[in-house]
Structure 1
Amino acid sequence: MADSLRESAVGQLLRLVNRQWLPYPDERPEFQLPDYDTPIDQEKPADHISSIGPDHQPKRRSEGEEQDVEAFQLAKTATAERTVSRTLTPIRTSDGIVLVDWYTLDDPENPHNWSSPKKLLVSFEICMYSFAVYFGSSVYTSSIDGIIERSGVGVVTASLGFALYVLAYGIGPMLWSPLSEIPSIGRNSIYIATFSIYVLLCIPEALVDNFAGLMVLRFLLGFFGSPCLATGAATFQDMYAMIKMPYLLAFWAGAVTLGPALAPVVAGFSVVAKSWHWFAWEMLWLSGPIWLLMLFLLPETSAPNILLRRARRLRYLTSKAQLKSQSEIDQAHMSAREVAFDALIKPWQINALDPAVLFSTVYTALVYGIFNSFFESFPLVYPIIYDFNLGESNSVFLSVIVALMIAMPTYCFYYYYWVEPKVAKHGFGPPEQRLIPALFACFLVPVGLFIFAWTTRSSVHWIVSIIGVLLDIPQFAASLFAANDFARSSVACGCILFAHPMFVSIGVPGGISLLGGLTILCAGGLYILYFFGANLRARSKFAAK
């Protein structure tokens, strides 16, 4: 707990006041620093995880080093116990620069070596943070009627508050994701700075009485809440071996699916009892405690950032200017143009030059658009056909909990007993193997949509249509993680705005049937990607470069 506090935003601020508060192990008198003065023979195999050559560029590990690291990581994956510590020898370049890296093979400051409780705490914080941000998207919908009455705007215009939020958290990752990869910034500073702004913006959102001002605030809230979407998965990857990542992503998917699903349930009753402003207060009450928890107990997980701060700390302790981290050496030889290109242009280049990635981007954007369009039909079904009040209508979203309680354990069971043993023996295999569960689950989506479309009439009990909703949710949850957040959120933003007029124009049965037909095309696309994905990847011009 003490090291989490030290690495948190509050801990780092306290250390700025006094470096002796919350000291690192290497700042204690009894700590034995590595010998940074003894010359090291570069021809001799280095007992080190990573190294640099005389040209300041990363040097490939020797075969022995690779075997040591792989054996250690496999041991840590298979058992919760740590292996015997092993000291790592510093690496020196020909011009005297000494690489600052982990002190030992099981260095406790390496996020992969953190204890299970610490990893679970960080994972819980990221999931709750993501839940709160996604909660803030759809909680607005319960207040649309009140906003229409107060501002005198139409339904489509009032829906902008939802659409702009979704659009903004698709734009945000284009900035936050590359910034988080800059070692001097890291992930934690972005999380804390942006979420602090998010929490503060909830206050004027709850007080504003001007439609234009409310729309501006909704966009800003989505933008400053988006880092969880931009780098949440990267935070998990900082701590866990790749073979364990599917479990983390499954629970993260559950958190971000529950957020927008439960928000209307919570706000549906309170908005009726209080006022349309009430949804914003609920955003504040949810995000505020999570923000405080992150301030005090969210440590930095980016290894380049941790090692960069270690190098600065050691330069201060030893007065040796030649001590540098790998990231400092790498960035010293990168121009601003190269940094900007890697951060802003390369993701779009990959989409343009890699057919498989482009297909995945289009697919996830389409599925996410259908997801948001589908939910826009609820206000035209349950209050009108079944005479539900606002709170009862929004209670339909509780079916999401049932769906996730079925889908998540099923997937984890499949991965644990089928996929993980195969990966441990033969490696991950081609990417198309990850699509096998979707090849079966994808048919549930059109089935659920057609059940919903053809049973939403007064002569059929409302529970039947809710069963259709339950069948849809598990597959939709996967669409929350797209290769291109901007494309996905842009399509979703448009769908939110045109879905209501579409349902009014052609009716809910016709509109939902249209969405069901589109999901059949999506299912066909999955099979194309599964059977022809290798061929598409072979045609990638990006890979060829």
Structure 2
Amino acid sequence: MAELMRDTVFGHFVRLITNGRMFQYAEERDPTIWKRYVDREQTKNMALYGNAEGLSNEEKADKDDAPFSSKDSSQTQVGNGEEQEHQLSSTITGQRIDTEKGRDITMVSWYGDNDPEMPLNWSTFKKVFVTFEICLLTFSVYIGSAIYSAGTEDVVRTFGVSQVKATLGLTLFVAGYGLGPMIWAPMSEIPYVGRNPIYIGTLFVFVILQVPTALAVNFAMLLCFRFLTGFIGSPVLATGGASIGDIFAPKKRAYAIGIWGIAAVCGPVMGPLVGGFAVQARGWTWTIWELMWLCGFSLVLLIFFLPETSSTNILYRRTKRLRKLTGIQSLRCQPEIMAEHMTGKEIALIALVRPITLNFKEPIVLLLNLYIALVYGLLYIWFESFPIVFLGIYGFDLGQEGLAFLGILVGAIIVIPPFFYYLYKVVEPQFNENGELQPEKRLPPAFVGAFCIPVCLFWFGWSSRASIHWIMPIIGSSFFSFGTFLLFNSVLNYLPDAYPEYAASVLAGNDLMRSSFGAGFPLFANAMYTNLGVGWASSTLGFLSIAFIPIPFLLYRYGKQIRKHSKNARQDF
């Protein structure tokens, strides 16, 4: 437990007030341990070439073609007196330093392959507990969208606005958490920052902002704070998958992403259920108070028990501690060296420009983001039909209508065992000895998921009538869980595998596009279902989803060839 709490917000506070006497790190208990694990190859590259990677392929080719006299000084024996005049030696490793290009820097690394502070080496208990915390945070924020929808009728009465205007409280929240990751997700990748300050800082503000939201004195104030809370609370919706990727190797990552996906599904599903009974008893403001209490509990839990998962931030802070302990200012780590050269312009480019450019320049990213956005939009527009069906046709009250969403949750739980069995028996054996998998091998579950979406919409639409028992549309709704679970897990594992160097940007772009659809679609949901009827409105959505079924099949067949023509995608597998 001490190891778990040491790298949390609470742990850092305890270390601060005890001057590092509690929750000590390995280098504080043994000040010499780091010397045994200096990265000598990177230190040599820094000394000779001024960077940790060494010569690029082009530079190596130029060097091989050059005459012997012009080759790097590292090829010359130190015994030459004239050469020694142009060289210094590192005081730590004794490595010769090129005075023109080299830097006297000693590269700090992990304490061996089994370093317990490396997130991939954490114990199973620690990994599972941290995954639970990420899932709880995701659920707490995601429920904030749908929990409001239960109170839209009360909002109409309270502020005297139309049904469509009242729906803006939902859509602006969704739009906010689509825009937020454009800033928060790339910031969490910066070694100086890490993921915890983003999670904890934004969640604290998110909780505080629920107060003026619930106490809104006019409709404009309500909409303003709904957008702000969505924007502020959004980091985990895009970065949660990256946090899980920090602690699980690719071979096991899909299992954890699957559980995280269930937490994401539970949010919109449980929102109307929890919010429905609250609105019945106390009005729409109680949906916001419930959201504040849930997120407040999550905030307290995370302050005490969520450790930093970013390996670059962990290594950076270790290097800072070593400089303070030893007084040796030449100690550096690779993430720190990389961050030194990041300008404000480059950070802005990563945060705001790259997710959009990758989305429209990469055919793979565009197709999959468009597909996931469509499914996400269908989810939110379809949710708007539940009051029409279960209140209007079957005569449920507001609380009972929330119970109708449980079919979606049950479907999500049912699909987990066969999916995990498939991962264990089919996917895992395809990984090579280096723990790598061809990205397209992540896509077959999407073949099934693609057909489940239209099945759900047709089933739900044509079974929602007074002559048919209410259990039938609820059973049909479970197929949406099958489809979204399999599609989201395939895509959220495929994109980082296909674009490993730009995973954060690709996922941020995915979140932006799907949230844009999720924000816009509910605005015309009521008119669509009222004018077309439940059967034909759902069928229209079903036909639209059928048009996108070929996408995973095409990418499975041609994805490798498309990646070979991309400058950003992985081409070596």
Q: So what's the TM-score if we normalise by structure 2?
A: 0.84
Contact in 1 for aligned 2:251/2:435 (Cα 8 Å):
no
Match of 1:488 among 500, 514, 530: 514
Q: Could you say which residue in structure 1 is the equivalent of 2:22?
A: 22
User: What is the CA distance between 1:51 and its match in structure 2?
Assistant: 7.3
Q: Deviations over 1:331-363 (max 9, x none)?
A: 223443333323332222222322111111111
Tell me whether 1:59 sits opposite 2:67 in the alignment.
no
Letter matched to residue 513 of structure 1:
S
Residue 393 of structure 1 corresponds to 401
One-letter code aligned to 1:271: V
**Partner SS state of residue 35, structure 2:** coil
CA distance in 1, matches of 2:450, 2:274: 30
Computing the radius of gyration from Cα coordinates, the structure with the larger value is 2
Shift of 1:297: 1.0
Following the alignment from structure 2 to structure 1, what is the Cα–Cα distance between the partners of residues 279 and 45? 59
Q: Deviations over 1:176-232 (max 9, x none)?
A: 011001110000010010001111112222332321111111111111111111211
Aligned residue number for residue 498 of structure 1: 524
1:13 equivalent in structure 2: 13
Does structure 2 retain, via aligned residues, the 8 Å contact 1:350–1:357?
A: yes
- SS of residue in 2 equivalent to 1:58: coil
Q: How does 1:143-162 map to 2 (within 5 A)?
A: 143-162=151-170
Find the counterpart in structure 2 of residue 114 from structure 1.
122
Aligned partner letter, 1:14: V
Please say which of residues 502-511 and 204-213 is displaced more in the overlay: 204-213
* Matching residue of 2:475: 467
Residues 268-307 of structure 1 aligned to structure 2 (within 5 Å): 268-307=276-315
1:35 is paired with a residue whose SS is: helix
Counterparts of residues 400-411 of structure 1 (less than 5 Å): 400-411=408-419
- 1:378-402 per-residue CA deviation (whole Å, 9 max, x = no partner) reads 1111111111111111211111221
Taking a change above 3 Å as real, the CA distance of residues 316 and 401 of structure 1, as seen in their structure-2 partners, is same
Amino acid at match of 1:440: V
Given that 1:445 and 1:472 are in contact with CA atoms closer than 8 Å, whether structure 2 keeps it comes out as yes
- Contact kept, 8 Å, 1:432 with 1:533, in 2: the verdict is yes
The offset of 1:521, in angstroms, is 0.9
User: Larger deviation: 392-401 or 418-427?
Assistant: 418-427
Secondary structure of the residue that 1:253 maps to in structure 2?
A: helix
Residues 303-348 of structure 1: per-residue CA shift (max 9 Å, x gap): 1111111111111111111111212222223443333323332222
Amino acid aligned to 2:271: A
Query: Contact (CA 8 Å) 1:355, 1:539: kept in 2 or not?
Result: no
Tell me how far 1:275 sits from its aligned partner. Answer: 1.8
Q: Hey, what's the Cα distance between the residues in 1 that align with 2:105 and 2:31?
A: 23
The one-letter code matched in structure 2 to 1:366 is L
1:17-166 matched pairs, under 5 angstroms: 17-26=17-26, 28=28, 30-35=30-35, 46=41, 54-59=48-53, 94=97, 95-166=103-174
Percent identity over the alignment is: 40
The amino acid that maps onto 1:382 is: F
Aligned position for 2:63: none
Q: CA deviation at 1:60?
A: 7.1
The answer as to 2:333 corresponding to 1:333 is: no
Contact 1:51 1:99 in 2 (8 A): no
**How far is the alpha carbon of 1:26 from its aligned partner?**
3.9
How far did residue 107 of structure 1 move? 1.4
How many residues are treated as equivalent by the alignment? 512
Q: Does the 8 A contact of 2:194 with 2:308 survive in 1?
A: yes
Provide Cα deviations, 1:256-304, integer angstroms capped at 9, x if missing partner: 1011101111121221022221101111221111110100111111111
Q: Is the 8 A contact 1:449 1:516 kept in 2?
A: yes
Q: Does 1:507 align with 2:533?
A: yes
Could you tell me whether the CA contact under 8 Å between 1:369 and 1:488 is conserved in 2? yes
Alpha-carbon distance, 1:371 to partner: 1.3
What is the rounded CA distance, in whole Å, between the counterparts of 1:264 and 1:93 in structure 2? 67
Partner of 2:426: 418
Task: Give, in whole Å, the separation in 2 of the partners of 1:328 and 1:425.
Answer: 30
* Offset at residue 99 of structure 1 (A): 0.8
Question: Alpha carbons of 1:214 and 1:445: their partners in 2 closer, same or farther (altered >3 Å)?
Answer: same
Q: Distance in 2 between matches of 1:91 and 1:197?
A: 50
Out of 458, 467, 474, the position equivalent to 2:466 is 458
Contact 1:52 1:91 in 2 (8 A): no
Rounded to whole Å, the distance in 1 between the matches of 2:567 and 2:304 is 46
Structure 1, gaps ≥5 residues long = 62-88
* Residues 522, 237 of structure 1: alpha-carbon distance in 2 compared, 3 angstrom cutoff: same
Question: What stretches of structure 2 of length at least 5 have no aligned partner?
Answer: 56-91, 98-102, 493-506
The 10-residue stretch of structure 1 (440-449 or 359-368) with the greater mean CA deviation from structure 2:
440-449
The structure-2 alpha-carbon separation of the partners of 1:533 and 1:268, relative to structure 1 and needing over 3 Å to count, comes to same
Q: Which residue of 1 aligns with 2:194?
A: 186
State the 1:90 CA deviation.
Answer: 7.5
Residue 236 of structure 1 is matched in structure 2 by 244
Shift of 1:37: 13
Give the 3-state SS of the residue equivalent to 2:111 in structure 1.
coil
Give the 3 Å change call, closer, same or farther, for CA 53–337 of structure 1 in structure 2.
farther
Superposition RMSD in Å: 2.6
State the 1:501 CA deviation: 1.5
Cα distance, 1:57 vs. partner? 2.4
Deviations 1:438-482 (A, max 9, x none): 212321221121111112111111111112111112212444956
* Aligned partner letter, 1:520: I
8 Å Cα contact 1:191/1:228 also seen in 2: yes
Does residue 170 of structure 1 match 2:169?
A: no
Is residue 43–residue 106 contact of structure 2 (8 Å, CA) maintained in 1? no
Q: Conserved in 2, the CA contact under 8 Å of 1:151 and 1:210?
A: yes
Q: What's 1:533 paired with?
A: 559
Give matches, 1:243-282, under 5 Å. Answer: 243-282=251-290
The residue identity in structure 2 corresponding to 1:195 is L
Letter of the 2:410 counterpart: V
Aligned residue type for 2:547: L
**Deviations along 1:240-259, whole A, 9 cap, x unmatched?**
11110000100000001011
SS of residue paired to 2:251: helix
When structure 1 is superposed on structure 2, of 362-371 and 182-191 the one drifting more is 362-371
**3-state SS in 1 of match to 2:332:** strand
Letter in 2 for 1:518: L
